Amino acid sequence: MSAASGSLLQVKYVVFWLACFHANSVSAIREQAKKDSSVDPLMVLEKAHSQTTAKGLLHIRTHFSLNWW
C-alpha cells in the first residue's frame, strides 16, 4: 500500500467516524429531549462519544478492511 492510499484510508476513516458521531449525537439529543425539557450538551457529547467509540473501531475496520494500524 502506498503512502497516498494509506492517507486516503485515514481520511475515509475520519469522515466515517464523524458521520457515526453525528448520528449518535442526534440520537442522544432526541433521547434526552424525551426525558427532560432541556438538553445538557455535555451529556449529549459524552453519550455520543462513548457510543461511537464503542462501535466505531470494529465497524470501521470491517467496513474498510483496514490494516494500517
Give one DSSP letter per residue of 1-43, joined into a string. Answer: --HHHHHHHHHHHHHHHHHHHHHHHHHHHHHHHHH-SS--HHH
Least Cα distance to 17 among 46, 59, 67, 69 occurs for 59
Answer with the residue of higher pLDDT: 62 or 40: 40
What is the model's pTM?
0.68
pLDDT value of position 13 = 78
64 is written with which cell numbers?
474498510
Predicted confidence at residue 57, as pLDDT, reads: 59
**pLDDT of res. 69:** 45
pLDDT digits 0-9 by tens, 10-49: 788 788 888 889 999 999 999 999 988 888 999 999 999 8
**Confidence check: pLDDT of 63 > 70:** no
